[in-house]
């Protein structure tokens, strides 16, 4: 039996007439068209007109690349043709009002993994669809200050060996791949389930000296392998591309950590809650995984500002729960006895 196309999947989601569902479907279709244009530009690499040149910094202080701005322009233009009231982006200080009568608000990271643009590593686009609330032209940010549990849909495109769309409409996490032969997205994986247990973690260990003790202890225990309290060997991965790390975890399990640390500007983490952490957490939970800020469920956090940052841990549910225990009740981890008696593997 041939795999379902994205169009067939979206049509099955529609069901009886429903304004919000119809709006979600129309918006996802516009997003796929925009992502395909961006994929075509990325495929040209340095031969194209928009690639890895530096523009300056965005409203939150991060370096902008030419491709960041190009992608943002493409998605913003696409949303002008979708039932979207408000468009909020990593690249813009304030949301853009598009259609005050439309039912949706979209929060987007137009190009995740910018540091990898010129190294031919997978990058992507992350998006979150929310119901537009209040008076859009009164306080445009209000629609984005909702807890992630209110998301109607979330997903990301990954520009890698294939152009893939990871999408959840609130009932499972599904993966579609663009078929150049058919000229459409085709379902590659239905309702991904992340294994509860794992032997693989993703973290940037160059920041070890800046981490809180709980994170150091967790990584120490993993690195000690079969000789340590975990009693098994772990592999480490770190791509510095959120979509690529998330895609790997959806495919084979694992856990991702981007904790806050002691560096200036990193205490509250670096990932943006509204348009990075929330959509990723939505996808992960719909795949039977878990996502926290090391302690609190990401999707329950009430945003205080559009560009708010947050620490993040996500992936295999039992491993995420274990990391939480390292932070709040380390004495409950029975195999660590006594908990604080050993010196870390990286310590002198």
Q: Which tokens sit at 146?
A: 């909702």
Q: Strand, coil or helix: what is 250?
A: helix
Q: Beta-carbon neighbour count of residue 169 at 10 Å?
A: 21
CB 306 within 8 A of CB 141: yes
Q: Is 179 exposed, middle or buried (CB count within 10 Å of its CB: 0-12, 13-18, 19+)? A: middle
Please state, in angstroms and rounded to a whole number, the distance separating the CA atoms of residues 290 and 317. 5
Is 335 annotated as a binding-site member? Answer: no
Nearest to 231, CA basis, from 218, 244, 222:
222
Instruction: List helix spans (H) across 65-130.
Output: 66-79
Please state, in angstroms and rounded to a whole number, the distance separating the CA atoms of residues 88 and 72. 10
Is 213 annotated as a binding-site member? Answer: no
C-alpha of 265 from chain center: 20
Is 109 annotated as a binding-site member? Answer: yes
DSSP character at residue 232: S
Is 276 annotated as a binding-site member? Answer: yes
Is 111 annotated as a binding-site member? Answer: yes
Is 113 annotated as a binding-site member? Answer: yes
Cα radius of gyration (the chain): 20
Is 115 annotated as a binding-site member? Answer: yes
Nearest to 154, CA basis, from 297, 301, 275, 331:
275
CB 151 within 8 A of CB 167: no
Residues 6+ apart with CB under 8 A from 138: none
**CA dihedral for 226, 230, 232, 234, sign (positive or negative):** negative
What φ, ψ does residue 250 adopt, rounded to 5°?
Answer: -65, -30
CB 10 within 8 A of CB 174: no
Is 97 annotated as a binding-site member? Answer: no
Is 114 annotated as a binding-site member? Answer: yes
**CA dihedral for 323, 324, 330, 335, sign (positive or negative):** negative
Q: Which residues are annotated as a binding site for Mg(2+)?
A: 90, 109, 111-112, 276
Query: Would you list which residues are annotated within the binding site for substrate?
Result: 112-115, 204
Q: Which residues are annotated as a binding site?
A: 90, 109, 111-115, 204, 276
């Amino acid at each position: 039996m041939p795999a379902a196309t994205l169009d067939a999947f979206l049509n099955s989601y529609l069901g009886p007439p429903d304004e919000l569902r119809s709006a979600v479907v129309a918006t996802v279709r516009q997003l796929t068209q925009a992502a395909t244009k961006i994929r075509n530009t990325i495929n040209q690499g340095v031969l194209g007109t928009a690639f890895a040149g530096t523009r300056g910094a965005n409203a939150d202080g991060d370096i902008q690349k030419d491709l960041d701005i190009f992608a943002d322009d493409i998605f913003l233009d696409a949303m002008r043709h979708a039932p979207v009231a408000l468009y909020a982006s990593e690249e813009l200080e304030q949301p853009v009002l598009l259609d005050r009568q439309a039912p949706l608000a979209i929060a987007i990271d137009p190009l995740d993994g910018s540091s990898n643009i010129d190294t031919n590593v997978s990058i992507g686009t992350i998006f979150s669809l929310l119901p537009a609330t209040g008076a859009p032209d009164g306080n445009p940010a209000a629609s984005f200050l909702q807890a992630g549990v209110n998301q109607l849909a979330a997903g990301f495109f990954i520009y890698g060996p294939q152009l893939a769309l990871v999408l959840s409409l609130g009932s499972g996490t599904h993966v579609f791949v663009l078929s150049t032969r058919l000229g459409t997205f085709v379902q590659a994986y239905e309702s991904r389930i992340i294994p509860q247990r794992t032997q693989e973690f993703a973290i940037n260990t160059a920041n070890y000296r800046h981490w809180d003790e709980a994170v150091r202890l967790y990584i120490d225990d993993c690195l000690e392998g079969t000789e340590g309290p975990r009693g098994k060997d772990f592999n480490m991965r770190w791509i510095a591309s959120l979509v690529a790390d998330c895609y790997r975890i959806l495919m084979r399990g694992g856990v991702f950590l981007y904790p806050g640390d002691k560096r200036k500007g990193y205490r509250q983490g670096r990932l943006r809650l509204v348009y990075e952490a929330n959509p990723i957490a939505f996808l992960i939970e719909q795949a039977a995984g878990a996502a926290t800020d090391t302690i609190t469920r990401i999707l329950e956090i009430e945003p205080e500002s559009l560009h708010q940052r947050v620490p993040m841990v996500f992936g295999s549910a039992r491993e995420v729960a274990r990391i939480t225990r390292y932070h709040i009740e380390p004495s409950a981890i029975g195999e660590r006895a006594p908990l604080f008696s050993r010196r870390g593997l990286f310590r002198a």
